[in-house]
Homo-oligomer: A and B are copies of this chain.
Amino acid sequence: MKVGIINVTGYAGAELARILSQHSEVEVSCVTGRSAAGQKLGEVFPHLSSLDLTIAPELDGSLDLVFSALPHKASAEAVIPALERGLKVVDISADFRLKRAAEYEEWYGVQHQHPAYLEEAVYGLTELHRAEVQAARLVANPGCFPTSAILALAPVVQHGIIEPDIVIDSKSGVSGAGRGLSLSTHFSEVNENVMAYSVDGHRHLPEITQELAALTQERLSVTFLTHLIPMTRGILSSCYARLRSGGDWDGPQGVGRIRELYQAYYAGHPFVKIAPKPPQTKETLGNNMCLLYPTVDLRTGRLIVISCLDNLVKGAAGQAVQNMNLMCGFPETAALEALAVYP
């Protein structure tokens, strides 16, 4: 099968090329990137030089599926024509994640040019929407933070175990901010430092609330705060919510029951694992796994769920390939078998 990668020159695009190089059924036959058009891919990314691809200004050739790693707005403009030509599309941008165009416009500050596709687009958090992904033409690949947070909270929101009042405190490596330059990703500013950012509201919040709200009748109140820490890859989200009283979740045995609930919820999903001890982001570096650790603060009856993943893999390119695998009938784990690189 032939696929293209639009905007290969960012980190998500390059990661797609890296992962797809291990896919026995897929040939990356076209990669695009505006500023670097005409260059060999290996000139921009030496670690990809063995792929022997030249960066094109536009998609060309006969393709079956296209990944877009463009920023929002530009991505919709690029993928809808491809979709209308009959290609399948996995869009890594935010353009088709939110179901309501008004919400998109509120958070992204631009009018949506293709709202007609919002309903058709499948939110590609694979574990929650596997069947829809299998049937999809257009998959909106989730954001990195939402992937970590929704997977952490879906079981307890759906089962009504927690009060609908949630705090998500996320810590992210810097690659999530992309390859574009800014003072806040300048080495001397980030190194030996930690900061909260987007304190007034991070664009990934509406994805989180949209997807969790779909699992419950209750009105959810979600506070989501992101922090930048001095590492390249990885997200760890610590999620907090009170257990509903009167449930069967109190005490040490309650923790065991909650763990069983998570085990059951993600049974059959190869890329979510309930960790036996608190996980570390390093256990996922370069790998498509999301590690979850649900536990209870017995002093307060509060559920804590810790979630770890590699923001460029399960949080972006890896999940995009996982979705492609389902859309195209390949084994879900194809090209995603490599273990994490540790230490």
* A240 and B167 within 8 A (CB): yes
* Chain A 142-172 residues near chain B, CB threshold 8 A: 165, 167, 169, 171
Closest to A185 in B: B187
Closest to A198 in B: B278
Closest to A222 in B: B300
Does any Cβ of B come within 8 Å of A116's Cβ?
Answer: no
Does any Cβ of B come within 8 Å of A63's Cβ?
Answer: no
* Chain A interface helix/strand/loop/mixed: mixed
Does any Cβ of B come within 8 Å of A306's Cβ?
Answer: yes
Identical copies in the complex? 4
A191 to B205 CA separation, bound complex (whole angstroms) = 28
Does any Cβ of B come within 8 Å of A124's Cβ?
Answer: no
Known: A187-B230, A230-B230, A240-B223. A281 touches B193 (CB 8 A): yes
* B341 and A11 within 8 A (CB): no
* A188 and B196 within 8 A (CB): no
> Can you pick out 9 interface pairs between chain A and chain B where the beta carbons lie within 8 Å of each other?
A45-B342, A171-B194, A181-B181, A181-B182, A185-B187, A191-B192, A194-B280, A199-B295, A200-B295
- By a beta-carbon cutoff of 8 Å, the part of chain A in contact with chain B is 11, 14, 18, 21-22, 43, 45-50, 165, 167, 169, 171, 173-175, 179, 181-183, 185-197, 199-201, 205, 221-223, 225, 227, 229-234, 236, 238, 240, 242, 273, 275-287, 291, 293, 295, 297, 299-300, 302, 304, 306, 337-343
